[in-house]
Amino acid sequence: MRPMSEDAGQSGSTRSFETTEGELTYPEVSEKLAVSLARMLAQLLQTPPGEIIITPEWLCQRHRELAGHLFPEWAGRFRTTDVRVGTLEPPAYYKAPLLVQSFCDDLDERLRHVDVDNLSDIAEFLAWVDWRFQWIHPFKDFNGRIGRLALAALLYKLALPPVETAPTDPDGRREYLEALRAGDAGNLEPLQKLWIRRLGEAI
- Assign domain 16-202 to a CATH class: mainly alpha
With CA atoms as reference, report the closest residue to 14 among 2, 27, 1.
Answer: 27
Per-residue pLDDT tens listing for the chain (203 residues): 334 444 434 445 567 889 999 999 989 999 999 999 999 999 999 999 999 999 999 999 999 999 999 999 999 999 999 999 888 899 999 999 999 999 999 999 999 999 999 999 999 999 999 999 999 999 999 999 999 999 999 999 999 999 988 888 999 999 999 999 999 999 999 999 999 999 999 88
Nearest 5°: CA angle at 11, between 6 and 14?
115
Distance CA 9, CA 95 (A): 24
